[in-house]
Amino acid sequence: MRPTERALTWHLLIEPDGRPGAENMAVDEALLDESDRTGGAFLRLYRFSPPCLSLGRNEPARARYDRAAITRLGITVVRRPTGGRAVWHEHEVTYAVAAPLAALGEGSVRDSSVAIHRRLAAALRSLGVAATLAPRARAPGLGAGACFAALVGGEVVVDGQKVIGSAQVRLGGGRAFLQHGSILLGGSQDLLTAVSRETAVSRQPQAASGTTLSAALERPVTFHEVVDAIIAAWDAPLTSTALYRPLPSSTAQFSDPAWTWRR
């Protein structure tokens, strides 16, 4: 471990009550901005309320998802500032890490991503889940379907099935990064299939759509027990910090359909 990792105190934000998707994305991006400006490091553990479909920053959503069906079903949608593909956020612990590039490894995307995934996998193992990191493999393209239907090397898996889906962004001054992701507690990602424009033939097999902690442990798993396990496994000093108030001004941008459906 590098000296900078030991010296860094992480600000911890826990939000069990949940926020709408646009607020969550705006808060995560604001934490990235703050990290970039101040050198602070943030770990945020939160939820979506109401449940929300999130799209990757560059995902071709207009071609892939049926916007009319999504509207008809009353599903809220947000486009993330980070890469990757669609996620249905319902029964999960969502995490966000905003930190200086040197906080985790040498600063590359791969280093920081694997460092975070190692901590999260350790947290899941402390709950009795046989979580490991997937071996390195060629990354799937943006056309590879929903997030949990495609596996990238270094992601957290249980019996070869993805249990945490993550994505990252580096903007602004380029001194910090934001990685956020979904740790599936239960439920399924089937809603994404229901609103997909893809034909049944081209859909990913069900077995490739990820797994959940409840399925792995064969019992209900709560938000708070996962949060406690992550804090215990974080391997760095954590200090609780106030929740983000007032809302960042970028909430409006993340609420704007022109951003959500830009591709």
Partner 1 sequence: MSKIPADLLYTEKHEYVRKTDDKSLVVVGITDYAQGELGDVVYVELPKVGTSFGRMDAFGTIEAVKAVSELFAPLAGTVTEVNTTLDSDPALVNREPYGDGWMIKLRIKNPADFDQLLDAEKYKQLVGE
Shortest spacing between CB 92 and partner 1, in angstroms: 17
**Beta-bridge partners for 64:** none
Cis (ω within 30 of 0) for the bond into 246? yes
The residue among 165 and 221 lying less far from partner 1, judged by its C-beta, is 165
State the minimum distance, in angstroms, from the CB of residue 108 to partner 1: 5
Q: Which of 116, 121, 123, 147 is catalytic?
A: 147
Q: Which of residues 110-169 bind partner 1 (CB under 8 A)?
A: 110, 113, 138-139, 141-142, 152, 166-169
Q: Is 147 one of the catalytic residues?
A: yes
Q: Report which of 75, 66, 221, 83 is spatially closest to residue 142, judged by C-alpha positions.
A: 83
State in angstroms the smallest separation of the CB of 81 from partner 1.
7
Q: In terms of Cα–Cα distance, which of 21, 28, 85 is closest to 56?
A: 85
- Element containing residue 113 per DSSP (H, E): helix 109-126
Q: Is the dihedral of CA 50, 91, 121, 222 positive or negative?
A: positive
If one asks whether residue 219 binds partner 1 (CB under 8 A), the answer comes out as no
Angle 165-68-85 (CA atoms, 0-180°, nearest 5)?
A: 15
Smallest separation, CB 58 to partner 1 (Å): 4
User: Interface residues for partner 1 in 177-206 (CB under 8 A)?
Assistant: 177
Which residues bind to partner 1, rule: CB under 8 A? Answer: 56-58, 81-84, 108-110, 113, 138-139, 141-142, 152, 166-172, 174, 177
